[in-house]
Amino acid sequence: MPFLHNRISRTELKQRIEADPTPRTTISFYLYTPIADPVTQRDDWYARMSELGVLGRIYMAEEGVNAQISVPTNHLDAFRSLLYAYPGFDGLRLNMAVDDRKVSFYVLDIKVRPRIVADGIGDPDFDMRRKGRYVDAGGFNRLTQDPDTLVIDMRNHYEFEVGHFRDAIEIPSDTFREQLPMAVDMLGDRKDRNIIMYCTGGIRCEKASAWMLHNGFSNVFHLEGGIINYVRQVRENGLENKFIGKNFVFDERLGERISDDVIAHCHICGKSADTHVNCAYKGCHLLFIQCEQCARELEGCCSNDCREAHRLPEAEQALLRKGARRPHNIFNKSRARMKDLSRRDP
């Protein structure tokens, strides 16, 4: 079967979804499970989920599935029935968004990849079936009462920057594949300590827990369902919330408010702020944190240069993007790029 794709432009699809009053629910889920023929299953999922009006981003590989999607709320039961009918998926936990007030996705993309999380692991003896122990919100809170428990954040720096668990240790790298060996090196002299690994929805910390066990660590836990499931359990069961700030999410919302704490700063002026935006100039599209005042003054751009380019007619902007006058801001979420942005005058 040929690759299935949207024939309507993303711009038109976005306009349609924003104008559609149908209530939608944002969901994330993942599963490490063998998939013999990801291409065939991808095409099958695309056809069936399109019929239900599912939007979002799904990665499929021989090792499993990783999904962030939006489902019409009145089709939730039908979606569960569809998903649970596939071998291995029956009863799979679905993480419902904590803050679902905005439209999260506008199209449905299902892509086949070598891995559902790019990990860089080449060791043939590594086995995902030997992974750390799940810990729920209550268990997490109990374990972290012990000051010897280490809480390890397995997300990227721009996620950690706007929100994280109290006393969490950041693994300071730009990609998950860099984090795995770095975590082993950073914690190498504490292999007998209780270690809890966490991430947004659980997929990265589950693999990281297996990697730590593979490298000789003995008491490894990972937060079941990640931050999203933790917050839901905390709110449903009246537990103490140990997460401060925002939870960064990989959709149009770019963040879910978890606590009232604002722990980050505007990358332009340094004021307290934790709102992620993409530079409005299409030739840049840099992801960065911007306060309301800088957003007004720079018209949603990350610098004066990008603001001036954004003001040009579309035809002239297209010439810039082709390289006739290449702007200095190329989309890059790296730590080094953020430091460079903060040192510049806007």
Together in a domain, 103 and 21: yes
Judge whether 269 counts as a catalytic residue.
Answer: no
* 302: three-class secondary structure by DSSP: coil
Which of the four pLDDT bands, split at 50, 70 and 90, describes residue 254?
confident
Q: Where are the alpha helices (DSSP H) in the chain?
A: 10-19, 38-51, 76-84, 137-143, 157-162, 176-186, 203-214, 226-237, 292-297, 304-311, 314-321, 335-343
Per-residue pLDDT tens for 164-196?
A: 999 999 998 888 999 999 999 999 999 999 999
Structure tokens given for 294: 């800088």
CATH of the domain at 144: 3.40.250.10
Domain that holds residue 191: 133-245
pLDDT category at 241 given cuts 50, 70, 90 is very high
Among the listed residues 199, 279, 284, 302, the single catalytic one is: 199
Does residue 95 sit in the same domain as residue 162?
A: no
- Considering the chain, what percentage of its residues have pLDDT values greater than 70? 86
CB 63 within 8 A of CB 34: yes
- Which pLDDT band holds residue 335 (cuts at 50, 70, 90)? low
- Please name the residue that has the structure tokens 């299935």: 4
- Per-residue model confidence as pLDDT tens digits over 267-288: 999 999 999 999 999 888 899 9
Number of domains in the chain: 3
- pLDDT digits 0-9 by tens, 277-316: 999 998 888 999 999 999 999 999 999 999 999 999 988 8
- Report pLDDT digits (tens) over 98-130: 766 667 788 899 999 999 988 999 899 999 889
Whole-number Cα distances in Å, 38 to 33, 84, 112, 127, 217: 11, 17, 6, 20, 33
Please tell me whether residues 141 and 236 are part of one structural domain.
yes
14 vs 4: which has the higher pLDDT: 14
pTM: predicted TM-score of the whole model, two decimal places? 0.79
Q: Examine residue 258 and state whether it is found in any structural domain, yes or no.
A: no
The answer to whether residue 126 sits within a structural domain is: no
Of 245, 268, 299, at which residue does a domain stop?
245
Q: Are 256 and 247 in contact (CB under 8 A)?
A: yes
Residue 159, pLDDT above cutoff 90: yes
Residue 48 lies in a domain: yes
Q: How many residues are there in the chain?
A: 346
Residues 108 and 137 in one domain: no
Q: How far apart are the C-alpha atoms of 284 and 208, rounded to whole Å?
A: 32
Mean of the pLDDT values across residues 21-26? Answer: 86
Please report the pLDDT score of residue 11 as a whole number: 63
pLDDT at 270: 95
What's the whole-number mean pLDDT along residues 67-91?
A: 94
Confirm whether 172 is domain-assigned: yes
Asked if 105 and 143 sit in the same domain, the reply is no
Q: Could you tell me if 166 and 102 lie in one domain?
A: no
Instruction: Please name the residues in contact with 15: beta carbons below 8 A apart, sequence gap of 6 or more.
Output: none
- Average pLDDT value over all residues in the chain: 87
Q: What is the pLDDT of residue 327?
A: 43
Is there a domain that residue 335 lies in?
A: yes
